[in-house]
């Protein structure tokens, strides 16, 4: 059963306010309408597309909190960040990220996404990777979206901050990394 347009648009605005990173495809399924209808509704309501919503939230969070890395140095787009605790970024694998012969993502892009996230989550003016341990779980292909999740584990035996990063395509783990991070100041309470 279809919801009247005005009611649907009210619910659409509420849904996007609650979950700003929801895709047009997910919204279309939720409201049982076409993707084009969702796009038209968003335009009428002056709600930007997902990529612009992500950039707006990330830029605001970034400018307010991150010390260790300029926004333009991040690989992927940070969509959630709690300094010295956790962070999430997304990277859409495009033509520029893959080998031309087989459309498989080059590993250095997955590493760069995870490493820049590990640097960004550190609450310090200077954060550098001193060591990393990496495991590529499966190939990632052009057109897939990689979601990297960083979790700060605390200092290791050498006083370096350990950051664990898992990267997923949908719910499948495709990359795991442990990053040992140098920071210019000691973290209080460790």
Same fold, 5-47 and 52-183: no
- CATH 3.40.190.80 assigned to domain 5-47? The reply is no
**Could you read off the pLDDT of 126-171 as tens digits, one per residue?**
889 999 999 999 999 999 999 999 999 988 778 899 999 999 999 8
Fold of 52-183: Thiol Ester Dehydrase; Chain A (3.10.129)
* For the chain, domain boundaries: 5-47, 52-183
> What is the pTM for the complete model shown?
0.67
Mean pLDDT estimate for the chain: 86
Note the pLDDT of residue 65: 60
Burial of 116 (0-12, 13-18, 19+ CB in 10 A): buried
């Amino acid at each position: 059963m279809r919801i009247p347009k005005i009611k649907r648009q009210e619910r659409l605005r509420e849904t996007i306010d609650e979950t700003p990173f929801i895709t047009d495809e997910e919204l279309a399924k939720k409201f049982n309408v076409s993707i084009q209808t969702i796009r038209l509704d968003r335009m009428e309501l002056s709600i930007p597309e997902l990529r612009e919503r992500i950039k707006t939230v990330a830029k605001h969070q970034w400018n307010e909190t991150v010390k260790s890395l300029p926004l333009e140095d991040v690989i992927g787009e940070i969509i959630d960040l709690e300094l010295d605790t956790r962070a999430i970024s997304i990277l859409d694998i495009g033509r520029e990220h893959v080998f031309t012969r087989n459309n498989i993502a080059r590993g250095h892009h997955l590493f760069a996404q995870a490493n820049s996230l590990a640097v960004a989550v550190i609450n310090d003016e200077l954060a550098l990777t001193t060591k990393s341990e990496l495991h590529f779980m499966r190939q990632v292909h052009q057109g897939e979206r990689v979601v990297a999740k960083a979790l700060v584990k605390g200092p290791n035996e050498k006083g370096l901050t350990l950051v664990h990063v898992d990267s997923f395509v949908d719910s499948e783990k495709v990359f795991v990394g442990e990053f040992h991070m140098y920071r210019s100041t000691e973290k209080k309470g460790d």
